[in-house]
Structure formats: structure tokens, C-alpha cells
Amino acid sequence: MANFALTGLFNKFYGVVIRKGDLLMNLSYRKKLKDLSSLLLFIAPFTVLYIIFLLFPLVQGAFYSFTDWNGISSNVRFIGLANYIEAFTNDKRFINSLIVTGKYTVATVLISNVVGLGLALFIENSVKIKSMLRTLFFVPYIFSLVVVGFSWKFIYTKIATNIYQLTNIGFFNLDFLGSHKIALISVIFMSVWHGMGYYMLIYIAGIQSIDQYILEAATIDGASGWKKFRYIKFPLLMPSVTICVFTCLAGSLKVFESIFVLTSGGPGYATETIAVNIYNEAFGSANLYGYGTAKAVVLALIIMVVSFIQLSYFKSKEVEA
């Protein structure tokens, strides 16, 4: 039974029409068929779940982006590209959220990676306490974003004020979450704090995989520490950089939970990223679900394009050791 159905699938995929007789005779063909059926059997559980619980709702969601559905009503009206046009021509807030997301992403990606890499280099050198440092710097990453967001809210408001009262250091009296100039920086700081350990780990692994002989050879040739880093370590670390920047980029472009908990996009619109903006439009009292999903589709496209460019550019910079 199962094989029969699979033959059909196979035919469809390869565009081949075969008669029963051929099937029995053609041995290599039988092998291919067997390969395909075992492939399908092995991927079936994951793929079926993937299609049902991810692709299907996703396509449905994308469909809503062409409608004016409000998320409640049973009336769904098809309005073509109107939502998309609206988003780019008549939505200052969306444009603002694009800018905020851009700033957030650039800063988070840069700082997380520079600090993560720097820390990795330092830790790699600190032979005696290496594993302890590695373990502990990673700890923030295991907390959920909700927990992290609430904790930092507490720190930025209550604890900072308290430190100021005790020490009188002006820095702690800054309006971390209330000033539209500082709030985004506070958010970025929290994100870096939470995620940096992850990048640090990957960089440490990258450093460890570098062949020690190359470095020794460079030392013998009289290369300084910086030169060794710039011309040997860094190029060899490019694969790690590629993956870290990719992960950080995609994550930053769709950042939501931590900002939602920490500032809900405020004060005003100062920290309203695309995701927060979409959330507010689609689920806030605004009832614009169709419109919100249109913007989500735009966001998904942005992430895809940016990731693609980043990956192909960084890949081209990688060297073989």
C-alpha cells in the first residue's frame, strides 16, 4: 500500500511515467525508488508536523495580509495590496519602527560580536580559570526573555536610583527607560547582556579549532600579538563570525519579548521595533490583524534579504586553513 502511494509521489516529483513491467526489470531504478521511499519515511514525522503546524498556518497568515480582517469578525474582505501600500506610504510609525529596528540591530550585532570575540580571546588566554569563566559568562543566556526583561526593569528603575542615592554618581541617575534618547541604549545593553555569552562560546570554540602550529610559526617569524590576531586568527575565525552575525542579525531584526516586557516600545515610540509595532497593531486595541500580518510579511522579507546578503558576503571572506 505505502509503496504504491510513494511510487505515485515519486513519479510526480521526477515527472516520470512508468509501466509496471519496467519497474520490475530496472534494477537501478528500484534502488532509487527504495532510497526515495526510505528518505520519505525518515523525514515524514518531522515534515508532516512542519507542514501542519508551521507552513499551513503561515500561509494562512500571509493570506490575511491581503485582507482587512480585524481578528474578530467573521467577515474577511480581500483588499489586495492595500495593506502593503498603506504601510510604506502612510504609516509614519512603521517607518519609525524600521529605523529603530535598524539602529537596534546594528548596535546589538556589533557590540555582541566585538565584546563576545574580545572576551573569548581573553578567556582563552586565562588558562587557570578558563572553564569557570566560560561557564559563568554564559549563565544569563539560560534565563527566559520574560525573566530577563522583568529583572532589568527592576534594575533600571529601582536599583539604579538606589545606587545613585548611595554613591551620588550621576550616571546612575540617568533616566534609563524614560528618556527617549537613552531608552534604546538601555534596551540594547540588556540584549547584549543576555545574548553575549552565546557568541562568546562560539568564538571560544573557533579559537580552539585554530591550528596551534600556524600561530607558533607566526611567533617565530616575529609577528606581534595584534598582527597575529589581525592576519591569522581573525581570518581563520571568519566561519564563526559568519554564524554569530547571522544568528544575531535574524534575532535582532525580530526582537520582541524583551522589549515588550521592558518598555513596551516606550517612551512614546522610542523603542518600538517592527515586531512591537506589529504586535500593537494586530493585537492591541487597534483591531488591524490583516494590516499587522502584512507588515509581518514585510519583516520576514527584510530578514530573508538581509540574511542572504550577509551570508553570501561573509562566506566570500572565509578562508580555508
User: Binders of another protein among 271-300, rule CB under 8 A?
Assistant: 272, 275, 278-280, 282-289, 293, 296-297, 299-300
Sole binder of another protein in the list 135, 211, 234, 313 (CB under 8 A): 135
Give how far Cα 192 sits from Cα of 88, 117, 130, Å. 30, 13, 21
- Does residue number 117 form part of the binding site for another protein (CB under 8 A)? no
Q: Which is nearer to another protein, 21 or 72 (CB)?
A: 72
Q: Which is nearer to another protein, 110 or 163 (CB)?
A: 163
Q: Which of the residues 180 through 209 are near another protein (CB under 8 A)? A: 180, 193, 198, 201-202, 204-206, 209
Sole binder of another protein in the list 154, 171, 231, 313 (CB under 8 A): 154
Report in angstroms how near the CB of residue 214 gets to another protein at its nearest. 19
Report in angstroms how near the CB of residue 177 gets to another protein at its nearest. 5
∠ Cα 126 140 119 (to 5°):
30
CA atoms within 13 A on the CB side of 31: 2
Q: Which of the residues 211 through 230 are near another protein (CB under 8 A)? A: none
* Burial category of 314 from C-beta neighbours within 10 Å (exposed 0-12, middle 13-18, buried 19 and up): middle
Total residues in contact with another protein, by rule CB under 8 A: 119
Contact pattern for another protein over residues 78 through 97, marking x by CB under 8 A: ------------x-x-----
- Does residue number 145 form part of the binding site for another protein (CB under 8 A)? yes
Q: Which of the residues 243 through 272 are near another protein (CB under 8 A)? A: 243-244, 247, 250, 254, 256-257, 260, 264-270, 272
- Does residue number 123 form part of the binding site for another protein (CB under 8 A)? yes
Report in angstroms how near the CB of residue 21 gets to another protein at its nearest. 25
Sole binder of another protein in the list 5, 41, 85, 217 (CB under 8 A): 41
- Does residue number 120 form part of the binding site for another protein (CB under 8 A)? no
